[in-house]
């Protein structure tokens, strides 16, 4: 078995969700999970793992569909999906994505620099996990905590 990392190629302003699913219907159901967020632009790619083994795609923004497809192809693992989004955040769609019956797991939901850890055997490729952003630099201080709480309230996530 060979283990490699695949750098996720995206503009800095994008959020992405990478996960695993199990059925061709995934791309349409993920589209339905994302389309309800007003103003959010998104692209979806799903690596089919049997039959013609195509990268299935959908979305409401061609640039983001292209980002999702390019990264799904680079990952190259069956049953993996990629959602690229702009003008919305994973928190707006993550529960809906988790409720899609075909979704088995979410590897990450992030805007950070991302690497996908991939194992390859004679059968194909699979995602082992992800490296999401940087390692911790320390423990938050009281000031850091106050800034975190203020940020969440400014964004409307807490009262």
pLDDT tens digits for range 135-151: 999 999 999 999 999 99
Helix (H), strand (E) at residue 126: strand 125-132
pTM of the model: 0.93
The whole-number pLDDT of residue 70 equals: 98
Which residues does the chain have with pLDDT short of 50?
A: none
Rg (CA), the chain: 17
The whole-number pLDDT of residue 24 equals: 87
Helix segments in 6-141, DSSP class H: 26-34, 62-75, 90-98
Contacts of 122 (CB under 8 A, 6+ apart): none
Architecture of domain 2-154: 3-Layer(aba) Sandwich (3.40)
Cα gap 147→120, rounded to integer Å: 43
The whole-number pLDDT of residue 157 equals: 83
| Residue corresponding to tokens 């695993």 | 20
The whole-number pLDDT of residue 101 equals: 95
The whole-number pLDDT of residue 43 equals: 98
The whole-number pLDDT of residue 131 equals: 97
Q: Where are the domains of the chain?
A: 2-154
């Amino acid at each position: 078995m060979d283990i490699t990392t695949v750098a996720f190629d995206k503009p800095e302003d994008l959020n992405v969700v990478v996960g695993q699913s199990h059925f061709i219907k995934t791309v349409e159901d993920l589209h339905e999970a994302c389309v309800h967020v007003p103003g959010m632009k998104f692209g979806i790619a799903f690596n089919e793992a049997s039959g013609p083994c195509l990268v299935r795609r959908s979305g409401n923004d061609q640039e983001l569909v292209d980002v999702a497809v390019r990264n799904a192809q680079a990952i190259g693992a069956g049953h993996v999906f990629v959602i690229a989004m702009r003008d919305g955040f994973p928190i707006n769609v993550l529960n809906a994505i988790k409720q899609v019956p075909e979704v088995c797991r979410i590897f990450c939901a992030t805007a950070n620099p991302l690497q996908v850890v991939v194992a390859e055997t004679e059968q194909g490729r699979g995602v082992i996990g992800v490296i999401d952003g940087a390692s911790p630099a320390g423990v938050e201080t009281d000031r850091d905590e106050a800034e975190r709480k203020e940020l969440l309230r400014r964004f409307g996530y807490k009262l």
